[in-house]
Amino acid sequence: TLVSIVEDSSPGEIGSVVVPNLRVLELLSLPTWGGTPCTGLLYTTLRQLTITGCREVRELFRFDPSQQHSQFRIPNLESVWVECCENLEMIFSSSNNSGNPILVFHNLKSLVLADLPKLGSIYRRSE
């Protein structure tokens, strides 16, 4: 059973892992995995993110402005496809503890969301 994509002893530190050549990330049929796939990593070359059949995932992208970077960037992301994730509540989230977060997705062309019964928002800022 997959528990985490990257396990880091310093959680929440943006940029703690760099994957410089990753272009496609597909997480398929991981029913017990409940992690947040896009936090603590720099995905500078990621173009396509597909997540399907991951029942326990609650959010996809988490930004914490109190961490080192003032911006959360996935500059080359073109496509996000998410389906059949029954507990997914939000796509992007940020904490409200330090100014206004800057979420930059200049190249995003396609956002497909299907069969997500608990999806409450695309973006949520928590207190």
Residues 6+ apart with CB under 8 A from 51: 26, 27, 28, 37, 57, 60, 81, 82, 83, 85
Q: For residues 81 and 98, what is the distance between their CA atoms, to the nearest angstrom?
A: 30
Element (H, E) at 48: strand 48-52
pLDDT in tens, 95-115: 665 555 566 678 999 999 999
More confident residue, 68 or 47: 47
Domain boundaries, the chain: 17-120
Q: What is the pTM of this model?
A: 0.75
Q: For residues 120 and 100, what is the distance between their CA atoms, to the nearest angstrom?
A: 21
| pLDDT for 16 | 54
| pLDDT for 22 | 85
Q: Per-residue confidence at 12, pLDDT binned at 50, 70, 90?
A: very low
